[in-house]
Structures are given as structure tokens and as C-alpha cells.
Copies of this chain bind each other. A is one copy, B any other.
Amino acid sequence: MLKRYLLAPGPTPVPPEVLLSMAMPIIHHRSPDFLPVLDSAKKGLQWLFQTKNDVLILASTGTGGMVGAVNNFFNPGEKALVINGGKFGERWTKICQAYGLKVEEIVVEWGYSIKPDMVEAALKKDPEIKAVFVQATETSTGVYHDIEGLGKVIKNYPDTLFVVDAISALVAQDIRTDEWGIDIMVGGSQKGLMLPPGLAFVSVSEKAWKKNETSKMPRFYFNFKKERENLAKNQTNFTSAVTLIIGLNEAMKILQKEGLENVFKRHARLANATREAVKALGLGIYSKESPSNSVTAIEMPDGIDGQLVYKTLREKYGITGAGGQDRAKGKIFRLAHLGYADTFDIITGIAALEMVLKQLGHPVKLGTGVAKAQELLMA
């Protein structure tokens, strides 16, 4: 028997009570049974997003929400500013380009975070920019971008929307949609929300709804205006992913019982302990600035292949973390502390990492990282 542990930055583990709630018999999405379910889900999401805006619920992965955030609000030829600091920043560019937007990128070195004044300079220089696209947490590098700082800049530009991919940041970071002026924010189910993949969430501000009226792009499945009209009636435009939405309410109960502030504190604490444990092992953190509370990207020592670390952890210890992507492939290994995560997930991840590094020939004093994590997580 090899017991299994999921420590990847999505999908993340789903709590047993959530899994069981989704094993209940199916209810019909157009029946009165479902109306209070969706009503509860939408209120829960508003709480989590810290917003009074509608938060749309889509049957798709988070990427579907990102596509909708582009093709419901803009027109071909309009200018978009994309902050590209990793694999998911690239995705914003690809989506915008797929729909004919003119993309200007601010390329941020992998492992670093955007400086809001660079965005300010770009917006000043080109008043035609209709939107700024960014990740809250760039999963590929483990960096959290300064969403609050960006919001302060962008809110001075009444014709520019602020669009945030918070898919892997949601729940792990305190992101204040309304207070910080985020016009469109995208979340996904299989990350901090502790659900299986299959749902995207998108909050839309009044400023964005106004821009929506001018957008003529073809759309049908991701039609946000129709989703909004349906949401007002506690429905979705097409068949609702009923089991996932039932699971969402169950997961939300867990988060609401803990309280939003405590949820963020837990993630900050686990992330900090992970980073300090990694440093105690003599390894570097790949995020040179603003490391995220969702996932820690760990630099591999010379001669150690991050992909082999990933593979060995899985095969020998049953632990699924994540390797690096593209230019970071082989150079890093990523451990998530996202969603249904607590002290002993960190202890497990660090202990196993020590064991694998030692097995692969890297000099490690077993227990060094673990002891640091213990110390910090006892406090």
C-alpha cells in the first residue's frame, strides 16, 4: 500500500465532507430544489471575492473564465496591456491575440513581480489601452503580484479595465475585489476552493458591464450578459454543474466557519513555514520577490533535476507535487499549500523532499527543514 498525498497547485485535495456531498443523488438544475443551492453559492462567492458584484458561475475550467473575460468585453483591434511574468501571463497574451486584441506586454522576469509604476507609465504613454491583464499568483513562478498597488494605478483610468486571473490565488491571498477596484476577476474550483476541476467563477464590475455593451465579439457558451440575467434568477444560462455547485456550498461552509481572515492567515503561515524550511535546507526560493501563499517554487541544487525529484516523490513516497514549466523545467520543484492544507502537509512535503534529495546524492541532514517548519508551525 502506498498512501497518496496531493501537494500540487491544482487540482488540490477535496475534503471528505465535500466529496460525500457530491455523491448525493442528482437534483435538476431547473427545479425549485436547485434555486437555494445556487443562491447560496453566489452569496458564498461574493463573500470570498469580497465583492458586491455578480460572480458568474461557469461550467468550465478556469481558462474558460479567462476566455470569457476577454471575449465579452472587447473588440478586435482594441489594445490590451498584459503583465507576462510566467506561463499564465503568456496565456493572457495568447487568449487576447486569439480574439484579435492588440497586445502590449510588460515582460517580467520569471521569479519577479510587477512594479505598479511600470503599468502607470504604460497607461500614461498609451491612453488607448482598454484593459490591464495580470495574474494575482503566477503559478509557474510562485510569485504574487501586487494587485492592490495595480488597482490604485488603474482606477485613475476610467476607460481601462483591471482584469485579474486569481485562479490559484483565491482563498490563499486577501484580494479585495471592490476595495481595490478589480473589474473582472477569475477563479477556478480546483485550487483554494478545495473542489474538483470543472467550475470557473468570474466577478464583473459595473464599469466592466458598461464596456460589455460595446463588445461585438462572437460568443455563445461564455455569454456573460446572459449568465448575469440567469444568475439573478438563481440559474445558469446552460445546464448547471449541479454536483460541483453543491460541493462548493459544502466547501464554503468550511471556509466560512474558519473565517476569511483566518483562512488567509493559515495560508500565510503554511507558506512561510515552507519557505523557511526550504532555506534551512540550504535551497533557494525561485520567487525572488513577493512569494505567494499558494505555492512555493523551490530551486533545485546543481546536479539535481527537478523533474526527477517530482518523479521520485511520486513513485517512492506517493506524493504528487509539481515540477517546473518551460524555462523553469528541471530547475525547480513546486510544493503547494493551497486549500485543504494544514501543518502536517507541510511537514510531509518537506520531510519527503529531504529524503529524495538525499537519495539523489545531495548532501542533506535529514530533519533540518522539518525542524524549521515544526518550530514555525508550533508558534
A32 to B26, CA, bound (A): 30
A218 located at the interface, meaning its Cβ lies under 8 Å from any Cβ of chain B in the complex: yes
Q: How far is the CB of A164 from chain B (nearest CB, A)?
A: 18
**Complex-state Cα separation, A321 to B27, whole angstroms:** 11
In Å, the complex CA distance between A4 and B233 comes to: 24
Cβ-defined contact, B11 with A28, below 8 A: yes
- Given A23-B23, A100-B218, A31 and B242 contact (CB-CB distance below 8 Å): no
A39-67 vs B, Cβ < 8 Å mask (1 yes, 0 no) = 00000000000000000000111111001
Q: How many copies does the complex hold?
A: 2
Query: In the complex, which range does the number of interface residues on chain A fall in?
Result: 35 or more
CB nearest to A62 among chain B residues: B239
A13 at the interface (CB under 8 A from B): yes
State whether B71 touches A64 (Cβ < 8 A). Answer: no
- Docked-complex contact B98 and A219, CB < 8 angstroms: yes
Is A84's CB within 8 Å of the partner chain B? no
Is A260 an interface residue when CB atoms closer than 8 A count as contact? no
- The residues of B that contact A59 with a CB separation of less than 8 Å are 59-61, 64, 197-198
Q: Digitize A8-37: 1 where CB-to-B-CB distance is under 8 Å, 0 elsewhere.
A: 101111100001101111111101110000
* Chain B residues near A239 (CB-CB < 8 A): 10-11, 61-63, 188, 190, 197
With CB as the reference atom, state the residue of chain B lying closest to A14: B26
Per the bound structure, the CA–CA distance linking A337 and B190 in Å amounts to 33
Q: Give 9 closest A-B pairs by Cβ, nearest first.
A: A196-B243, A19-B23, A23-B23, A198-B241, A67-B221, A98-B220, A197-B239, A61-B239, A63-B238
Residues of A within 8 A of B (CB): 4, 6, 8, 10-14, 19-20, 22-29, 31-33, 59-64, 67, 71, 94-95, 98-100, 188, 190, 196-198, 217-222, 238-244, 314, 320
What are 17 sample pairs from A and B whose C-beta atoms fall under 8 A apart?
A4-B25, A8-B28, A11-B27, A11-B239, A11-B242, A22-B23, A29-B197, A31-B320, A64-B238, A67-B220, A98-B219, A98-B220, A99-B220, A188-B239, A190-B239, A196-B242, A198-B244
